[in-house]
Structure 1
Amino acid sequence: MTPTPPRRLLALALIAAMGSTALPALAQSADPFALAGSPQSTASVGTFTVSDIRIDGLQRISAGTVFTYLPIERGDTIDASRVGEAIRSLYKTGFFEDVNVGRQGDILVVTVTERPAINKLTLTGNKDIKSEDLLKGLKEAGLSEGDTFDRLALDRVTQELTRQYNNRGKYNVEINPTVSRLDRNRVDITITVKEGKAAKIRHVNLIGNEKFEEKDILDSWESKEHNWLSWYRRDDQYSREKLSGDLEKLNSWYLDRGYVDFSVDSTQVSISPDRQDMFLTAGITEGEQYKVASVQVTGDTILPKEQIERLVLVKPDQIFSRRLLEISSDAIVNTLSNVGYAFAQVNPIPDVNRENKTVGINMQVVPGPRVNVRRITYKGNSRTSDEVIRREMRQFEGSWYSQAAIDRSKIRLQQLGYFETVDVETVPVPGTNDQVDVVYNLKETTSGSFVFGLGFSQLSGLTAQVQLSQTNFLGSGNQVSVQAQRNDYMQRYDFSFRNPYFTDNGLSLGYNLWWRELDYSDFNTAQYSTNSGAAQAVFGLPITETDTVTAMLGVDTNEILVFQGSTPQSIVDYIKAVDRQTFHAWRAELGWGRNSLDSFLTPTRGMQQRVWLEATLPGSTAEYYKLNYNISKFWPLSRHFVLNTRAELGYGDSYGKETTRNLCRTPGNTTCVPGDAEFVRTASTEGLPFFENFYAGGVRSVRGFTDNTLGPRDAPEGNSSYLQPIGGAFKTVGSLEMYFPTLLDTPAARVSAFVDVGNVYKDYDAFDTGELRASTGIALMWRSPMGPISISYAFPLKKQDTEYDSSGRLIQEGDELERLQFTFGGTF
């Protein structure tokens, strides 16, 4: 059941409570002269012809306004009934507190006392109903700044607000209006709200259920007894609307199980004397269980009848289920709507045989006219151009209506990431029954980010960073990113551009340019530095609605700087084996991806997976390849809970000729061989180069462990206690994450509980499930006005502890833990 928006509900309720402008009690009197404030003046009116009319007592209201509503003009002959009519007319305007009619000769004298004007209207203490919604409702009820003050309207509004809070389970609410008189016939109104605490549901009782356990029946109810999670779910707060929805669920629950004669006989809601506890009771009659006797499809099915019959899930001799009946009806309607019959209906006509406890079902198909889409329009896209939206459309103007095409177009818009919400409505064209307009209502979100950082530390000195990225540049759908970062240990300059529709058929083209002077020790990895740069061209070609093939071709250079005594021995040996510090490469990449997620920002169902092969081409300084696979699948478990299963695999190795070199004790000696006193060891370029290794640990892989610290470690020669993470050629990471409803009423925030598992290994042969690391915790993802924020707090379930021998010598260094982790950035 779709709830009515609070503001609209409040406004309608206040207007209904107000009704037409009420007259004071005296205005209902049979004697019109009883309204006059001065008996002498009204008694002397009598019957006469009005030569002139004078209005006394006006302050803010003009005499012309009064004459507009006064049903008497100069030259009219009036009597008591005409005077009464005049008084009632002026009271009905709502402008006056008092109206007196008198006479001076042949001059009609109307003396009025104006109602004061509302100078200021203040609300305090309201939390459950937003001030914006409340003021809107008060304005539509006639109470807003500048309006004429009506005490009766204020009293009725107070009563209605009390009722509204009662409907939200707050029975201790106090609404105290205060009216302060000002000069020039003005008033200030202050409405003070003391909401109090919502009454809690202490007990829910069903009377008459014999076939099923009460706990099973009440499991799907929104109204629940107070429990230890109620502080978060707020499911123990009573409201009339929520209970009404639960009773409808109760009826559906029994009908889905074949109890056709089920009925709710009575409902009782009681409250404790202190108005803090609620007790709900429902009396029911279950009746007998019915089976399906027969099922037939009749009417104009448009498509072959056999095809429509295959969509019917209800079969003879099954237990009757209204849910299966509705699913079957929806399937037929959706099938017909995909071939242009937008207004198709299926009327299930039951034939109940209470003697045999069976139901015969006639699925009557009424297709209606075949519908053509006249026009497709968009609302709310102030930044994004219509062209960017239209190229995602799968429903076209001038073609037959297709619900599947409309829904697919909606999903494609959601996958762009430019819109927080996308809603679709179908509007019939006036004067026709075979044309509709399709309207997409869009709410744009921030599609760009701006990060600026400035700081100082003893380790890195002054650090400055500027990053500007826009996924919807100037509303064109193009993606542009520029980044510059610099400190004592790093200089980084990046530029990237991507046009997702370089050609009309969806071929994308992008460019990446970057230069980095980087000390890897700042990333919790081994002590070495690189000066690297690259230029790349990236292509993408959609082959189906959900599948895309990508390719990349580029050239890069990478200068490695190692530090004897600080850089791990394996890295130094690799540099010595290749006998150079600068690596040049022609690099290529080929990948395939599938995306069936229902939303880019907050997906609730669907799958996203990608596999890609990256390799340097023959003739490069180092010849190697890397194979990657990522998959993420969202499972909607209920209306509020979504499970995400995620996995990452990575493997790399060399494919070219391996280089080996004997290392000798005397610098410059290259002639030593194994067995010589000069011989130390053999260095080799076997396997994936160290600067392409995979890493794990951190907020984007296995949370609770410090970024990039999982996996193999190595120490510099002669300093075995200085172990440093060096990554590995094989990576495996998996995660189970359950998303929960949040207290924030926005899809931009998601709270989750997770279990992460993973590690990095030297190579595939070193893989050992016993070495996997695991953690569990909670996380918050929020697209805040300041930018995307991700916060997690994790506990390690499986970790490596530091081990020492009996003499205190280090045997095994433990994992680096970091339970609280977060990332954030600014948006515009």
Structure 2
Amino acid sequence: MTRHPQRRLALALAVAAALSGPAWAQSAEAPAMATDAAPVPSAGLPFVVGDIRVDGLQRIGAGTVFTYLPVERGDTLDPAKAAQAIRALYKTGFFEDVRLSRQGNILVVTVSERPAINKLTITGNKDIKTDDLMKGLKDIGLSEGETFSQQGLDTVTQELTRQYNNRGKYNVEVVPTIGLLDRNRVDITITIKEGKAAKIRHINLVGNEKFEQKDILDSWESRESNWLSWYRRDDQYSREKLSGDLEKLNEYYLDRGYIDFSVDNTQVAISPDKRDMFITAGLTEGEPYTISSVKLEGDTVLPHDNVEKLVFLKEGQTFSRKLLEVTSDAITNTLGNIGYAFAQVNAIPQLDRDKHTVAISLQVVPGPRVNVRHIVFKGNNRTADEVMRREMRQFENAWYSQAAIDRSKVRLQRLGYFDKVDVETQPVPGTPDQVDVVYNVTETNSGSFTFGLGFSQLSGLTTSIQLSENNFLGTGNRVSIEASRNDYLQRYSFSYTNPYFTDGGMSLGYNLWWREFDNSNFNTASYSTTSAAAQMVAGLPITENDTITGLFGIDRNQIFAYQGSSPQEFVDYIDALGTRTFHAWRTELGWARDTRNDYFAPTRGMYQRVSAEIALPGSTVQYYKLNYQFSKYWPLTRHMVLNTRAELGYGDSYGSPVTRNICYTPGTYVDTNGDGTLDTYQPGPDPTVPCLPTSTDYNKTVTADGLPFFENFYAGGTNSVRGFRDNTLGPRGTALGSSLQQPLGGAVKTIGSLELIFPTLLDTRSARVSAFVDFGNVYRNADDFDVDTLRASAGIALLWRAPVGPISISYAIPLKSETDDEIEHLQFSFGGSF
């Protein structure tokens, strides 16, 4: 039988007050009293309590009852105190029934405990995550181990129904089930049948004569069901969303001067099956108002003429609420940046409804000029204050500047040390012209020891071990040690960078690395290298968004190219120099500008970088390489972002070409297994050995000129022109005695892309879907460049920052290709750390 605690409490108090029943207090459906506790007649009160006994306890200790019971031994119990005692015990929420009775001079408290929740299960929910639901239930006391309350369960059921209704699901069913267990415990199962979301089938505006309905509804979040609704979900009805849309409707007319505009009524109808919604809004447009005058009044602080330049409303214009807000924000931001943190602009309109004009008075109230007393950092348990303070653009004992405070927050966010950065200004008590600026941060793991596994079609399986720390010992310095291996590469490296080597923000770092690289497994011409380098890298910020970088280092590179397997022009290049070992004194200068709003998933802003790499005089080969990268994000709508991307590269040697005559004997193919097939190439004698006068060998002239082949640019694949196999675009060559065409790369690279990104398609920041058009190619030199030979492709792509690492998948169809191009429609790569 269902019990009602509130009804029982009221009745019990009434009985205790009247002293006319068989007991002082009992529930409406109280069970029989203990046999040793006889009912107390009214003549039995008041009496002095000699002792107190509690009956009916199962899980709750008697001490808990005594803690809340406002009666002690030696107290005189009267009707008022009895009612107070019952009220106090009911208020704890532990009991379903509470009764008081007397046995001699012993006060007997008989209780019936509410059951405890043994297990709480939620099933059927998809729109709302189980973890979020459990957290919400715990906040209201409905969780495992807590005391069960039927009223609380009913409240949860109603709230869940409301939450799903707000998501447009009006046929949702929330069914709680209570299972009784021994020892006064219950299991609760909440079964949710979400059903289908109700879709908006029709939106009708009544009374709009000046503007077309489709123009008015263009900015609404609520839309009639359309072909894009499957991912936008804009056709799902929500009361909150409609409320926001009606506010946008009001703004639409106010921005166009209709000050008298009003929404007279709103009707929302739902179909009998609760699947279709119909919205009707009746409105009165009124007439547009013209600005008759604009006056700037009050203490503008700055010269009046300077502040007037920030007023975008002009006499004779049609009134616009948006321009009024822009004007107000411009003035308050300008004053806020010179210390007036609490500046206000009060717009006072005077309407002439007969002439449909409005006179606007802008009252500037600057308030006190505010000085920043202290900048405080909270939550940085590991990162030193100094590391955070050097990113500040707002300084202590300086005038308050909102722009500087906001910029400081952005710089902290871009460090990568913090999950979250919040900033607040706290007035100094008793000092109206001072504030403290507090940055609250949540630190994230900025370092890792990882064992990595990855796979791509180009590199195959990649294994790596890396120890990295971007915030070494909380100093902000970066340290990394890495070892990796895949089908074509072995690499070992160490790097260290101090981003604030000087107080002015100059960075200084060092790189050491060694690698073995087998190009034959890299979709390029067949040769291999063993190289090592030591480098010093420096960077100097020149503005908030611009940085100049420099590199100086020395490296050693051994090239292994052989006649019969490597392209002949590569072999000739090495023969011309007479060495397989190349030393280089290398320097690189670069400039970069980055205004993107997010490092991982930007939706606006630009990144561009120009760099020049030079092998200095004294190197085995003297050459240079120029690179330019450009990427700009254009927000088209709330759902679409256009990324335009370009990459250009050019390289050449400087100085005189190297020409050499060598004694050259071609190799031959031989039959090694006796099957009649010439299957093994045997090279001729070493070409560096001089020809003997009687030799039948012949001399050959070879030349080393232009960009060294091992520094060539390559194109094609996931990072350049998708749809073509990695590194296979551009010039091709053959080995001596072979007809196999091998990609050579080139000294000129041109890559471009137009990519339409749908950032909200998957409703997560960690994944994005895009449609793209790529184009580009590489050329031997600038003279070979020809627009007609550019390759192009189009397709779709998915980029997902999964827990196991970044996953990139693309499917592309070549739009422009040649018969010898290597096509690869589906391309992917993934990798991660464990």
Q: Using structure 2 for the length normalisation, give the TM-score.
A: 0.87
The Cα offsets for residues 353-381 of structure 1, whole Å up to 9 and x where unpaired, read as: 21111221111111111122233233444
Pick closer, same or farther for the CA change 1:488–1:825 going to 2, 3 Å.
closer
- State the Cα distance separating 1:742 from its structure 2 match: 3.8
Residues of 2 paired with 1:390 and 1:569: CA distance? 59
SS of the residue 2:432 aligns to: coil
1:820 pairs with one of 827, 831, 834: 827
Contact 1:100 1:110 in 2 (8 A): yes
SS of the residue 1:416 aligns to: coil
The Cα offsets for residues 471-494 of structure 1, whole Å up to 9 and x where unpaired, read as: 333443223333334578654322
SS of the residue 2:598 aligns to: coil
Q: Does 1:768 align with 2:775?
A: no
Pick closer, same or farther for the CA change 1:330–1:392 going to 2, 3 Å.
same
Which residue does 1:11 correspond to in 2? none
- State the Cα distance separating 1:434 from its structure 2 match: 2.3
1:710 pairs with one of 707, 729, 746: 729
SS of the residue 1:434 aligns to: strand
Residues of 1 paired with 2:421 and 2:372: CA distance? 19
Once the two structures are superposed, the pairs formed by residues 534-573 of structure 1 within 5 Å of their partners are: 534-573=533-572
2:11 pairs with one of 19, 22, 27: 27
Which residue does 1:50 correspond to in 2? 47
1:790 pairs with one of 808, 811, 818: 808
Q: Does 1:691 align with 2:710?
A: yes
Pick closer, same or farther for the CA change 1:79–1:217 going to 2, 3 Å.
same
- State the Cα distance separating 1:520 from its structure 2 match: 1.0
Q: Does 1:345 align with 2:329?
A: no
- Runs of 5+ consecutive residues of structure 1 not aligned to the other structure: 1-19, 803-812
- State the Cα distance separating 1:339 from its structure 2 match: 0.7
Once structures 1 and 2 are overlaid, which stretch shifts more, 149-158 or 60-69? 60-69
Aligned length: 791
Which residue does 1:729 correspond to in 2? 747
The Cα offsets for residues 368-425 of structure 1, whole Å up to 9 and x where unpaired, read as: 1112223323344455433322211111222211111112212222333344543333
- State the Cα distance separating 1:145 from its structure 2 match: 2.9
Pick closer, same or farther for the CA change 1:23–1:638 going to 2, 3 Å.
farther
Pick closer, same or farther for the CA change 1:467–1:86 going to 2, 3 Å.
closer
Q: Does 1:759 align with 2:777?
A: yes
For 1:234, the aligned partner's letter is: R
- State the Cα distance separating 1:746 from its structure 2 match: 4.5
Residues of 2 paired with 1:779 and 1:56: CA distance? 70
Residues of 2 paired with 1:780 and 1:461: CA distance? 20
- State the Cα distance separating 1:323 from its structure 2 match: 0.9
Residues of 1 paired with 2:250 and 2:397: CA distance? 43
SS of the residue 1:146 aligns to: coil
Contact 1:704 1:821 in 2 (8 A): no
The Cα offsets for residues 252-280 of structure 1, whole Å up to 9 and x where unpaired, read as: 11111111111111111111111122222
For 1:212, the aligned partner's letter is: F
The Cα offsets for residues 175-205 of structure 1, whole Å up to 9 and x where unpaired, read as: 2222222222222222222222222222222
Residues of 2 paired with 1:305 and 1:231: CA distance? 54
Residues of 2 paired with 1:466 and 1:103: CA distance? 77
Which residue does 2:96 correspond to in 1? 97
- State the Cα distance separating 1:332 from its structure 2 match: 0.9
Which residue does 1:262 correspond to in 2? 261
SS of the residue 2:812 aligns to: strand
Contact 2:379 2:441 in 1 (8 A): yes
Once structures 1 and 2 are overlaid, which stretch shifts more, 159-168 or 299-308? 159-168
Pick closer, same or farther for the CA change 1:421–1:694 going to 2, 3 Å.
farther
Contact 2:807 2:828 in 1 (8 A): no
SS of the residue 1:512 aligns to: strand
Residues of 2 paired with 1:610 and 1:495: CA distance? 25
- State the Cα distance separating 1:614 from its structure 2 match: 1.2
Pick closer, same or farther for the CA change 1:103–1:447 going to 2, 3 Å.
closer
SS of the residue 1:218 aligns to: helix
Once the two structures are superposed, the pairs formed by residues 4-23 of structure 1 within 5 Å of their partners are: 22-23=6-7
Which residue does 2:120 correspond to in 1? 121
The Cα offsets for residues 432-466 of structure 1, whole Å up to 9 and x where unpaired, read as: 32222323343455545666468999x99998543
- State the Cα distance separating 1:775 from its structure 2 match: 2.2
- State the Cα distance separating 1:314 from its structure 2 match: 1.5
Which residue does 2:679 correspond to in 1? none
Which residue does 1:645 correspond to in 2? 644
The Cα offsets for residues 136-191 of structure 1, whole Å up to 9 and x where unpaired, read as: 33333332333332222322332222222222222122222222222222222222
Pick closer, same or farther for the CA change 1:287–1:713 going to 2, 3 Å.
same
Residues of 1 paired with 2:278 and 2:104: CA distance? 71
Residues of 2 paired with 1:568 and 1:552: CA distance? 32
Residues of 2 paired with 1:474 and 1:602: CA distance? 29
SS of the residue 1:362 aligns to: strand
- State the Cα distance separating 1:550 from its structure 2 match: 1.8
The Cα offsets for residues 645-671 of structure 1, whole Å up to 9 and x where unpaired, read as: 221111111111112346776576999
- State the Cα distance separating 1:729 from its structure 2 match: 0.9
Which residue does 2:291 correspond to in 1? 292
For 2:807, the aligned partner's letter is: I
Which residue does 1:8 correspond to in 2? none
SS of the residue 1:231 aligns to: helix
Q: Using structure 1 for the length normalisation, give the TM-score.
A: 0.88
Once structures 1 and 2 are overlaid, which stretch shifts more, 707-716 or 781-790? 781-790
Pick closer, same or farther for the CA change 1:455–1:698 going to 2, 3 Å.
closer
Once the two structures are superposed, the pairs formed by residues 304-453 of structure 1 within 5 Å of their partners are: 304-445=303-444, 447-448=446-447, 452=451
Residues of 1 paired with 2:266 and 2:459: CA distance? 70
The Cα offsets for residues 527-565 of structure 1, whole Å up to 9 and x where unpaired, read as: 112222222211212222222222222222222221111
Contact 1:50 1:107 in 2 (8 A): no
Residues of 2 paired with 1:23 and 1:461: CA distance? 73
Once the two structures are superposed, the pairs formed by residues 564-603 of structure 1 within 5 Å of their partners are: 564-603=563-602
Residues of 1 paired with 2:763 and 2:473: CA distance? 30
Pick closer, same or farther for the CA change 1:285–1:619 going to 2, 3 Å.
same
SS of the residue 1:235 aligns to: coil
For 1:738, the aligned partner's letter is: L
SS of the residue 1:154 aligns to: helix
- Runs of 5+ consecutive residues of structure 2 not aligned to the other structure: 667-686
Contact 2:729 2:821 in 1 (8 A): no
Residues of 2 paired with 1:681 and 1:308: CA distance? 80
Q: Does 1:177 align with 2:176?
A: yes
SS of the residue 2:258 aligns to: coil
Contact 1:27 1:88 in 2 (8 A): no
Residues of 2 paired with 1:164 and 1:433: CA distance? 43
SS of the residue 2:42 aligns to: coil
Once structures 1 and 2 are overlaid, which stretch shifts more, 299-308 or 658-667? 658-667
Which residue does 2:270 correspond to in 1? 271
Contact 1:48 1:106 in 2 (8 A): no
Question: How large is the RMSD of aligned CA atoms in angstroms?
Answer: 3.2
SS of the residue 2:821 aligns to: coil
Contact 1:727 1:762 in 2 (8 A): yes
- State the Cα distance separating 1:755 from its structure 2 match: 2.3
